Copies of this chain bind each other. A is one copy, B any other.
Amino acid sequence: MSAAPPAPKLTLGDINPLTLQAKYAVRGKVPTRAEELKKQLAADPTSVPFKAIINANIGNPQQLDQKPLSFYRRVTSLIQNPDLLDIEAVVAAYPPDTVARARKFLASAKSVGAYSNSQGVESARSSVAEYISKRDGYPASKDDIFLTNGASAAVEYILETCLSGEKSGVLIPIPQYPLYTALISLLGATAMPYYLKEQSGWSIDATEVEKSVVEKLANGVKTKILVLINPGNPTGAILSEEAIGELLTIAAKYGIVVIADEVYQENVYEGKFISTRKVLKNLQAQDPTFYGNVQLASLHSTSKGVSGECGQRAGYMELIGFSDEVRAIFVKMVSINLCSVVTGQAVMEMMVNPPSVGDASYELDQQQRGDIFKALQDRSKYMTDAFNKMNGIECQKAEGAMYLFPRIHLPEKFVAQAQEKGVQPDELYCLELLENTGICTVPGSGFGQVEGTYHCRTTFLPPGVEWINAWEKFHNEFMSEYQ
């Protein structure tokens, strides 16, 4: 056969065109350039005008200075190696509640090296259900809980199950977390942006949302899913009970599945978080007929909050309101992937069921959680204030999450220069910021923004204020140059 000529390699024209469209700015052009600069810095520190790359592009607390919570890691070390329990000094050093917790998890999972039930280890799902019941005041069931590899995997399951091609629409807030647009692209579905109102703290206009549903329907696109991110990413805004209720009313009226992306529910620095599930249950109590059919998927993750356990890849989705037949499809979908990582399931169990008063680990755990929370809260305020003092930057306060999304009034001369180069103006700003200070952020265009406005997303995770001061200095020089 080898007498025949060989076929050429695949080109971009040969592969799935949907994978070409998908974009994911959090690890896009600016972070890629940051990786190059990091290598250059290591090879020749004098070749760049800064001492380190500051990764403010991604919510990855433990890559920066955040320490893991001791309770979690004592327990995960025991479930990874139960033989540690035979070492007296370990049992002496580890508070007894860590030992008990590890034993309980292993009694249910047997080994972290074994595939679990596809939805997850039963005892961990029970803890999640108890947490939700307590949080909302309405009982939850372990059978509705699916433990997943981070919340990202949950989003994939829901989108893949509910969408089929361009006739399926997904309402997403703009700005949004780019996982949504990436997955919608990969599935060939239709993204339906609803714009958050920056000037009123990134609030939602439900009338616009409903209008979009009606208009799309007239064009043959059925709205299948409505995504709400609360607290917001990248905006940091917290939705009011009223706003959530308005969205649920639209969902009830048009039969739209709601994804409540609530992975930042612990990161609340101002105001009060109320879960979409609780708002729904309240509405169902008032009007069971109208709200009875609403189908809701609520998401949570161990990556955020004060846990910051991103690399453990743990999340959950709670599915409520789905018919048994559709629910069975979800079970099949998670079965195809066998199960989520089992150690991550244990971390999730501990996140929703931390040591309580009287437990030996309680005090240290509370102290660690408090310290992490306070550092986040303080830095969010410091940074918001710093931005609002900078010439041409406006920044809404961060009520929650881990990000700020300042609006940058870029000088016309700079915008024109970017357009000449064929680059998004905010991407060019982020690149210049990076080249001059080492600070790595993500341009607003990666999240979506009102045409003609420019933003960037920065986490407030990197420690210290030196880098924020460096940003200020850069920005002032930048504005002098272009204004």
Which residues of A approach B to under 8 Å, CB–CB? Answer: 1-2, 4, 6-12, 14-20, 22, 24, 26-27, 58, 60-63, 68, 70, 73-74, 76-78, 80-81, 83-84, 87-90, 93, 109-116, 118, 149-150, 152-153, 160-164, 179, 182-183, 186, 210, 224, 249-250, 252-257, 287, 289-293, 295, 303, 308-313, 321-323, 325-326, 329, 332-333, 335-344
Contact = CB atoms under 8 A, between A and B. Distances in A.
A12 B332 CA distance: 13
A98 B322 CA distance: 48
Q: Rank and list the top 9 A-B pairs by shortest CB-CB distance, nearest first.
A: A7-B255, A89-B89, A311-B342, A77-B81, A63-B114, A27-B335, A62-B114, A62-B111, A62-B113
9 contacts: A7-B252, A7-B254, A11-B325, A15-B329, A68-B111, A76-B80, A113-B308, A116-B311, A313-B341
A188 to B, nearest CB: 9
Given A76-B80, A111-B311, A336 B20 contact: no
A370 B22 CA distance: 47
Nearest to A164: B16
Contacts of A210: 1
B16 A112 contact: no
A330 to B, nearest CB: 9
Nearest to A27: B335
A313 B340 contact: yes
B254 A162 contact: no
A81 B90 CA distance: 12
Given A87-B89, A295-B10, A1 B250 contact: yes
Contacts of A313: 149, 313, 339-342
B22 A332 contact: yes
A180 to B, nearest CB: 11
Contacts of A312: 112-113, 341-343
Contacts of A20: 329
A120 to B, nearest CB: 11
A88 B90 CA distance: 9
Given A80-B80, A341-B313, A162 B10 contact: yes
Contacts of A14: 162, 224, 326
B311 A17 contact: no
Given A16-B160, A255-B8, A90 B84 contact: yes
A6 B290 contact: yes
A1 B249 contact: yes
Contacts of A90: 84, 87, 89-90
A269 B1 CA distance: 33
A341 B15 contact: no
A362 to B, nearest CB: 18
B321 A9 contact: yes
A311 B250 CA distance: 40
Contacts of A112: 311-312
A40 B176 CA distance: 47
A483 B339 CA distance: 41
Contacts of A186: 160, 336
A2 B6 CA distance: 65
Interface centre among A8, A160, A250, A338 (most CB of B within 10 A): A338
Nearest to A63: B114
A123 to B, nearest CB: 14
Interface centre among A16, A58, A89 (most CB of B within 10 A): A16
A110 B163 CA distance: 38
Given A19-B333, A22-B336, 16 more contacts: A4-B253, A8-B255, A9-B326, A11-B326, A12-B329, A14-B326, A15-B329, A62-B110, A63-B114, A70-B83, A77-B77, A77-B78, A84-B84, A115-B310, A313-B313, A343-B343
A201 to B, nearest CB: 24
A230 to B, nearest CB: 20
B60 A257 contact: no
Interface centre among A118, A323, A333, A341 (most CB of B within 10 A): A341
Contact of A341 (B61, B256, B341): B341
Contacts of A255: 6-10
Nearest to A1: B249
A19 B327 CA distance: 12
Contacts of A114: 60-63, 310-311
Contact of A293 (B7, B77, B118): B7
